[in-house]
Structure 1
């Protein structure tokens, strides 16, 4: 199986390099080739081989897309839309030419960011070597106060069975605006079978303010794989809020690498992960503080049903020069069935004494004493169960400022968990 996959990817790269060759893509291909040939197995390689199995791997194809069908899944918000379909930006839907963002698309992977030092893996090498469009995004006018939100949509479609359509993306986003910005990243999964592999580098320059919302929604039962590697470089006086809402495909893997390279910056990162059936979510969060007077607050919540598994690994590293750091990690999770699993591994690596760092972990099930309490007040068992379940994640939704967006994501969560919308009664 391993040799078969290696041959498939090698043939894909040979075709790819005819139109998209660069020294950087060749360098990353050699790294990828070495990993595939090596007999040693890490978790990334093991999972990748497991995904592909004996299916035929295809590096994204241009298929006819029903635009009206796609628009039904989009959030109806006033924003600049960039729509990625099967590995490329669809210019019929996307607002490439706009007043707010300079969006540059290149065929060749020649963009280098000098401070990149995060750990690479099989998926980052896939993105660097096989991406057909390298996308960079800048702010047009640094002094403009009211900049429209940026809505990034990833939509994939596959009409053939026993073939995995692989879409690779490599994006660079540079922020240098002192006024608040909103980014919304939406992954839409509607049918089978594909592997969506995304590698993002986001640079938040001095005095940037950003709210970043990520939604991975599961519209139907499917067997898709979503792999996301994110790098965030945080400079001076940055305020960065990140919200993730992950509703599992067959498999979601997300690696976040936050690096504080400036002073007096703050990160607030909240996530909600939901998994059911036999699905799997693997989350790795690495936060590194290198300068003084910075703050990072992480609040992660997870719910598993059926035979699903969620793995959540977090490392908070405080280096010697990062005095007066405030670092917090909080994990809370609910197991709603005996066969579901949640594995949590928080770690602190603190190399100086002038810091304030805390971490906490809670894993359990719904308290049936509380259900009994609600039932004694005339509330049915089902509604009491639902009230406790949704109240577990409600505080993570409160800080979404856009009420329409908040209602839509709550509706999707309720649908995913098969819970009725009863909040109007209270």
Structure 2
């Protein structure tokens, strides 16, 4: 490795070391220390993948700072929020804002720990630089428990909002560690996770653990809506544990940041569970998005279906890596995954790596991949029907994502706002409602 690479790594390591040293003055714990030592080991080993190398190179000349407290008026936040009747948890620059958030409510028990003291034994998830950062530098550990005694539970609306200084020589880092417990026999839980970034340079790093106990039902939506922002670095690590007879739907709609990385680890531990996952990914300019999905079936008679769609333009790159593993014990598993991608520019790229690891013959499992461009013959066909070129182009882009979009935006109060975001992002005409 060259001298410049060594200087780059030392600069980033030394900055993180100083941040951790200050962090321990108020938030020291044995768990944080263990994770810091593991992070330190990884940084010293210099075993980075291509994505990490590009990320470190990109932030090398920046001064990394822990995000500072920022008091936000709720009326300002309303301009960015979805208008839904829900319990609000708003994180601003790495902390849960207690003035804006509905911490005291009858539906969800919210617990905030100042110190990371959870010895959570996790043999399923392979930790990485970003999970260790969250575990060692998070200022608040959040636990969310659903109340068993209430039938009609309001949705939980989680917002991550970054705002503050616009100094391009500084990058503000926010780390989060959250645990969500869906208790047994609780049905129809809806969680909305919405990432809103103001026009500042920030590094958002989130680590979520979601446990779905027996007979529970969850719909989990993740939205990143940065239609006018090309500066942020967004890293999300999610781990989901599905026990017996769980019904879990996950929906993602991501508009790319400068760098975007999400690792999902799904563990179907129990029997007779059903898992549905749909995502739509957009990237433009010279942004880079990396999505890694790992699904492991351990229980029997489980079903999973994944549908992922991606669109790139300009010089953007999206990397999609997915693996379904079916263990020997997972008899009568039905697992499917499908990737579809649309390239709107000659210089944009979408790399797809699906994988199946099947250790049991008594299963149904398949995957499919499609990559293409806007078909000129279809454009010609629409134009012969009196539709101009621009509208023909818009119709074909819309048709590509429409089925998934209807599922991801099946909440009426957020549908129009999402449609407007997408229209602005691609600078196309908003006529989604015509379909």
Give TM-score scaled by structure 1 length: 0.97
Aligned mates of 1:44, 1:106 — CA distance in 2: 32
**Runs (5+) with no aligned partner, structure 1:** none
* Corresponding residue for residue 358 of structure 1: 366
**Could you tell me how far 1:312 is from its partner in structure 2?**
0.2
Query: Residue 79 of structure 1 corresponds to which residue in structure 2?
Result: 86
Task: Show the counterpart of 1:149.
Answer: 155
1:83·1:89 contact (CA, 8 Å) conserved in 2?
A: yes
Aligned to 2:5: none
Tell me how far apart the structure 2 counterparts of residues 375 and 150 of structure 1 sit (CA, whole Å): 45
1:292 alignment counterpart: 300
Cα distance, 1:45 vs. partner?
Answer: 4.0
Q: Is the 8 A contact 2:11 2:60 kept in 1?
A: no
SS for the counterpart of 2:200 is coil
Query: Which aligned pairs between 1:239-318 and structure 2 lie closer than 5 A?
Result: 239-318=247-326
Looking at structure 1, the residues matched to 292 and 133 of structure 2 have their Cα atoms a distance apart, in angstroms, of: 19
Following the alignment from structure 1 to structure 2, what is the Cα–Cα distance between the partners of residues 6 and 236? 43
1:86: how far off? 0.5
CA offset at residue 373 of structure 1?
1.4
- Residue in 1 aligned with 2:394? 386
| Corresponding residue of 2:178 | 171
1:398 paired to 2:406? yes
Under a length normalisation based on structure 2, what TM-score does the superposition of the two structures give?
A: 0.95
Contact 2:265–2:295 under 8 Å retained in 1: yes
Identify which range, 1-10 or 127-136, moves more after superposition: 1-10
The one of 116, 121, 127 equivalent to 2:128 is 121
Q: RMSD of the alignment, in Å?
A: 1.4
Q: Once the two structures are superposed, what CA deviation does each residue of 1:152-210 show, in whole Å capped at 9, x if it has no partner?
A: 00001131331110000000000014321100000012212110000000000001101
1:35 to 30, 39, 42: 42
User: Residue 420 of structure 1 corresponds to which residue in structure 2?
Assistant: 429
After the TM superposition, which residues 75-114 of structure 1 pair with which residues of structure 2 at under 5 Å, given as runs?
Answer: 75-114=82-121
Query: Counterparts of 1:182-201 in structure 2 under 5 Å?
Result: 182-201=190-209
Alpha-carbon spacing, 1:48–1:24, altered in 2? closer, same or farther (3 Å): farther
Q: Which residue of 2 aligns with 1:18?
A: 25
Which residue is 1:55 aligned to? Answer: 62
SS at match of 1:274: strand
Partner of 2:327: 319
5 Å-filtered alignment, 1:203-218, equals 203-218=211-226
Per-residue deviation, 1:48? 4.0
What is the CA-CA distance between 1:4 and the residue it aligns to? 1.4
Alpha-carbon distance in structure 2 between the residues aligned to 1:260 and 1:216: 26
- Indicate the SS of the match to 1:223: coil
- Equivalent position SS for 2:127: coil
CA distance in 2, matches of 1:47, 1:126: 18
Change (3 A) 1:139 1:424: closer
Structure 2: unaligned runs, 5 residues or longer: 1-7
CA spacing shift, 1:39–1:398, aligned 2, 3 Å: closer
CA displacement 1:62-91 (0-9 Å, x = unmatched): 134354322210111100000000000011
State how far apart, in whole Å, the 1-side matches of 2:20 and 2:122 are.
27
Q: Is the 8 A contact 2:65 2:173 kept in 1?
A: yes
Whether the aligned pair in 2 keeps the contact of 1:158 and 1:193 (CA below 8 Å) is no
SS of equivalent to 1:398: helix
Say how many residue pairs are matched: 425
CA contact (8 A) 1:207 1:236 kept: yes
Q: Indicate conservation of the 8 Å contact 2:193/2:222, yes or no.
A: yes
CA positional deviation for 1:423: 4.1
| CA distance in structure 2 between the aligned counterparts of 1:84 and 1:40, rounded to whole angstroms | 32
Task: Tell whether the 8 Å contact from 1:143 to 1:178 is kept in structure 2 after alignment.
Answer: no
2: CA distance between counterparts of 1:237 and 1:398? 26
SS at match of 2:225: strand
d(CA) in 2 for partners of 1:33, 1:43:
19
User: Which of 409, 416, 424 pairs up with 1:407?
Assistant: 416
Q: How far 1:34 moved relative to its partner?
A: 1.1
Which digits, 9 at most, give the CA deviation of each residue in 1:93-147, with x for residues without a partner?
Answer: 100000100000010001233345300000000000000000000012x142210
Once the two structures are superposed, residues 243-272 of structure 1 have per-residue CA deviations (whole angstroms, 9 ceiling, x without a partner) of 000001111100000000000001100000
